[in-house]
Amino acid sequence: MPRTKKNESESDSKKKTASKKAAKTKTISAKKVKSTKSEKKSASKKTGKVKPVIVDVINDEDLEESTFFSDDALGADELDFQKAQDFFLDLEEGEVPRVDQTADIEVSESKEDFKTAEETDKQKQFFSDLVTEIKQRKESGQDEQREAAEKTYKNKKSIRLYRSLAWKFLILVGLLAAFVFYFSFSKLTILITPKVEAMNDTLYLKIANTEEEVRPGDARDQVSGSVNELSLEVEKEYAATGEEFVGEEIIGKVRIINNYSRNQALVASTRLLSPDNKLFRIKEAVNVPAGGEVTVDIYADTVSREMAIAPTRFIIPGLWVGLQDSIYAISDEAFSYQQKMEKYVKASDIQLAKSEAYDLLLEKAKSLKTLRGQDEVLYEINTPIDIEINAAAGDKVDSFLAKAQAKVLVVSFAKDEVEQLVASKLKVLVPDDRELVEFNPDSLSYTLESYDIEEGLATIKANFSSFMILNSDADVIDKEKLVNLTAEQIRTYLKDYPEISDYDLKFYPSFIKKAPRLVDRIEIKIKK
């Protein structure tokens, strides 16, 4: 018995608990109904229609004593909730639930006090609100999934975007680095070999025996020196070059040897006989001493090429036979055959003598070193020259004599003073972008322009030449015109400069064959 009572009391306790939970649930449902009614009321106010509001009041005591709070009632509530959920799913699929399907779910136990139509409207409204809430929750869940998917997609898209931006940034940095490298490190150096340019000019000098004041308007530079006039005479013997054929002759020499105890005299044309019986004669008379010998020229009575014999021994047939072995002649060289020519003076010989007279007088003037008290001397011979020749053209002589007389002007002056004047003028003539390479004083040449012997004055024109090249700091090339040009374009541009002999382009880095875009990165050097 006591166990039974205990079980009943425990059962009552569970029922009360379940009744409380059911009452709480119904209270919530009632609140929702009230909320729905209030919404309808507000809606009716908006539309101008007034609908009755039904309020369901539940006593707490009835809730405590209600049998709905038992374990069985709780199970029924869960079943009703399952049915309601199925009902809502049918609504989603478009099926309209019947009123009798919701009859088991009641808002309060006093529903018979209301009309069936109104009660049905309440239930429809309640379930409609509940379906709307479920749909909202479902849509909210789908929205959350969609938001999560979109968030994931956005995250992936963001990662791809960041990766793309990173690559673009790296490429941009690389391009910027290459750009900075090109502008900061690219360089062009042009090594120019300047062309040697000749420069010629003239300097007018005034030479006087005494110091004179420079006259106004006189552009001549006065140099110390002297002006003198000399009378000179020269003579020279000239050979006649004209030849006339007059016959043939044999030319040769022999030695006459005397091995006898007495001298032997021989007259001119004494005969000499060769071993092959060819007869020759001596040209001059000779006296051959005892034990000695004499050399003499020979000739032949009969001239022919066969008479030009080789060296041999000759007898003298005019002597006593007993003396022919002691006195005889020997030829050491072969006799020669030639045509006999006669000399005469030609007209060209006379002309040569006249033309050489000037040079002979000038040579004699230069030999008078006592008159050369200065470094440089100029000579001027007054023409015409007086020439005397002791032969005429056609005269048959071997030579003739020519004499020449003339007055020679001698102008001497200090060469070092002239060189100083030339150097000063070169400084003025050389442009600022050029420099003097070489000046050779020996390149100076002088010409006597005029002179006055009475006043002791002479005017001299000094011609000089020198060479110049570009300065190492000459700004002959406009670097701005070289900016961003290719190597070929630079070569074409430099061809227009005549003062450039050669050039060498050095690009840095070497693989860049284009001039920098900055003028400061272009350097021009001129070789010495």
Give the pLDDT mean for 387-412.
91
pLDDT at 311: 95
Query: C-alpha angle with apex 60: 54 to 66, nearest 5 degrees?
Result: 95
Q: What are phi and psi of 457, to 5 degrees?
A: -120, 150
pLDDT at 141: 65
pLDDT at 219: 56
Sheet strands (E) in 117-241: 187-194, 197-208, 221-239
Whether the per-residue pLDDT at 428 is higher than 80: the answer is yes
Q: Whose CA is closest to 327, among 276, 236, 265, 251?
A: 265
pLDDT at 471: 81
pLDDT at 236: 93
pLDDT at 218: 57
Least confident stretch, 74-83, 121-130, 185-194, 483-492: 74-83
Whether the per-residue pLDDT at 479 is higher than 80: the answer is yes
What is the C-alpha to C-alpha distance for residues 67 and 30, in angstroms, rounded to an integer? 19
Q: How far is CA 434 from the centre of its chain?
A: 21
Neighbouring C-beta atoms of residue 328, cutoff 10 Å: 19
| pLDDT per position as a tens digit, 217-257 | 455 788 888 888 889 999 999 999 998 887 888 999 999 99
| pLDDT per position as a tens digit, 429-465 | 888 888 888 778 888 899 998 888 888 889 999 998 8
Pairing of strands 522-526, 500-508: unpaired
Q: Compute the mean pLDDT over every residue in the chain, rounded to the nearest whole number.
A: 76
pLDDT at 55: 41
pLDDT at 438: 76
The amino acid at residue 381 is I
pLDDT at 102: 43
Q: 422 vs 111, which has greater pLDDT? A: 422
Q: pTM here? A: 0.46
Q: What are phi and psi of 175, to 5 degrees?
A: -65, -40
Q: 173 vs 24, which has greater pLDDT? A: 173
Sheet strands (E) in 305-456: 313-314, 327-330, 336-344, 376-381, 386-389, 399-413, 434-438, 445-452
What is the C-alpha to C-alpha distance for residues 80 and 92, in angstroms, rounded to an integer? 18
What is the C-alpha to C-alpha distance for residues 509 and 275, in angstroms, rounded to an integer? 101
Q: Write down the CATH number for the domain with range 242-344.
A: 2.40.30
Residue whose structure tokens are 């969609």? 146
How many CA atoms lie less than 13 Å away from 8 in the CB half-sphere? Answer: 5
pLDDT at 29: 44
SS3 299: strand
Q: Which two tokens stand for residue 210?
A: 């005494």
Least confident stretch, 36-45, 142-151, 394-403, 417-426: 36-45
Q: How far is CA 87 from CA 105, 121, 128, in A?
A: 12, 16, 10
Query: C-alpha angle with apex 48: 46 to 51, nearest 5 degrees?
Result: 95
Domain ranges of the chain: 11-141, 242-344
pLDDT at 285: 94
Whether the per-residue pLDDT at 6 is higher than 70: the answer is no
